Structure 1
């Protein structure tokens, strides 16, 4: 009977040890799982804060642009009213007409053949056998050519 009791106690001890090992290994995975869930939650919260900051930035930008457009429109209206009130319309029309006449005159001179030739990046040759500007001896006298 003592052998039976000893065997039962040994089995109980072995069961406890195995149970503790299994419990700890499962606790390790649940701890890792909880940590991962916490990190995911922190990332979600950070992303939500970032989205809120982006939305706030664009809302403020839209508000500032609207104020800028309103101020620009006010300045434009002010300038138009001032021009209408202060400028003499007859003088403006006469000046515009003179500008049109000047533009027509310059256009007709270009059509009549007085078109300027674009500048060249080389000197034209007078004789086909003459050395070009890129030749080594261009512009040198015979003495200077002999020294070179």
Structure 2
């Protein structure tokens, strides 16, 4: 029993060590990513020849913040009928909720 307890304690320590190391590595990765983004932004500000080019370079760094509205290729349909959540029925015939629906006489 002591041997099993010791192996279990060692395993728990390894798990804790693993996740602490992983957290540290992810933190370093996030910091490096932020530094790269800042470096690219500084380069875009310093090296772009005109304001339009600068804006395009900065927008490429942050595509989620890009709010340029683009025209649609095809206009939306105005008379589109929404889908039905029931089966259409013929006039003078029983509907699906009728107790005789689908039964042959």
Question: 1:111 — aligned with what?
Answer: 75
Does the C-alpha gap of structure 1 residues 112 and 64 become closer, same or farther in structure 2, counting only changes over 3 Å? closer
Task: Identify the structure with bigger relative contact order (alpha carbons < 8 Å, sequence gap 6+).
Answer: 2
- Deviations 1:41-77 (Å, cap 9, x if unpaired)? 1111110000011111111111111111111111010
Secondary structure in 2 aligned to 1:110?
Answer: coil
Q: Which residues of structure 2 form unaligned runs of 5+?
A: 60-67, 78-105
Question: 2:38 — aligned with what?
Answer: 77
Alignment partner for residue 24 of structure 2, among 63, 73, 78? 63
The ranges of structure 1 where at least 4 consecutive aligned residues each deviate by more than 6 angstroms after the TM superposition are 93-96
Q: Which residues of structure 1 form unaligned runs of 5+?
A: 1-39, 114-148
How many residues align structurally? 67
Question: 2:7 — aligned with what?
Answer: 46
**Structure 1 length as normaliser, TM-score?**
0.38
Does the C-alpha gap of structure 1 residues 89 and 76 become closer, same or farther in structure 2, counting only changes over 3 Å? same
**Structure 2 length as normaliser, TM-score?**
0.52
More helix by share: 1
Alignment partner for residue 86 of structure 1, among 41, 47, 56? 47
Larger Rg: 1
Q: Shift in Å at residue 94 of structure 1?
A: 8.8
RMSD of aligned alpha carbons: 3.0
- Deviations 1:22-43 (Å, cap 9, x if unpaired)? xxxxxxxxxxxxxxxxxx1111
